[in-house]
Amino acid sequence: MIAAEGIHAGIGSVGILHDVSLSVPSGKLVTVIGANGAGKTTLLRVISNVLSPTRGRILFDGVPNESIPAHLLARRGLIHVPQGRQIIPTLSVRDNLLIGAARVPDLSKDDMEAGLEREFARFPVLRERQYILGGNLSGGEQQMLAVSRALMMRPKVLMLDEPSLGLAPQVVASIFKALRRLADEGLAVLLVEQLALLALNVADQAYVLQRGRVALSGPAAEIRRDPAVVESYLG
């Protein structure tokens, strides 16, 4: 569903990504792990067409995305949950979700209600908190809201930038479990993470990004056993 082919990218004359290739098929959970500054967020920005690569290309559903503006990519189902969960603090949980749905063309009122129900079933705490302002939720609840809001947009590809940041392990586990289920239901999920062990445990495929290069890639279960990965990321 997403294929990055030989991506080079940088800001000004500073190279950040070097010859990065990766693919995220439908029905798979793919993780990109790497340390601070490895280029993970930059890679997501290139895939979302917020930053143009200096070389290489991104295919979304077989179509080069360079000609499609970022907001139209979202409308076509490429959804990016940015680092730092950008929910709207002054709107209720419910309205945050409905705003997600409002970006989907031709969605009826019944579709929106069904979407709310689906997300409340996924994260029951959001049902309990539906009339509370987003800004008053805990960090974990805000991250669940960010994921649910993205899902209200009916993605084909869901990209998440370090959703575990600052959250308790049980909350991370429940969010990752939801991501696993979404992949099993057919979504293409790209999970960028520093919490390597948890990400590798839930993913199908993994890429290790080191100083802007893919140092290692393969089935997540194999990457998890790789001595260099164990030493640098899981030790």
Binding region for ligand ATP (CB under 6 A):
11, 14, 16, 34, 36-42, 83, 194
Q: What are the distances in angstroms from CA 68 to CA 1, 73, 91?
A: 16, 6, 30
CB count in 10 Å sphere of residue 26: 14
Nearest approach in angstroms of CB 214 to ligand ATP is: 13
Nearer to ligand ATP, 137 or 196 (CB): 196
Cα 109 to Cα 95: distance, rounded to the nearest angstrom: 14
Report how far residue 159's alpha carbon sits from residue 127's, in angstroms, rounded to the nearest whole number. 24
194 is a site residue for Mg ion (CB under 5 A): no
Q: Does 41 interact with Mg ion (rule: CB under 5 A)?
A: yes
Q: Which is nearer to ligand ATP, 16 or 229 (CB)?
A: 16
**Which partner in ligand ATP, Mg ion, none is near 106 (CB below 5 to 8 A by kind)?**
none
Helices (H), 12-108: 40-47, 70-75, 93-102
Nearest distance, CB of residue 210 and ligand ATP, angstroms: 10
Neighbours of 113 (CB within 10 A): 12
**Shortest Cβ 45–Mg ion spacing (Å):** 9
Q: Which is nearer to ligand ATP, 15 or 27 (CB)?
A: 15
Biggest CA–CA distance in the chain, Å, is 52
Q: Binding residues for Mg ion, per CB under 5 A?
A: 40-41
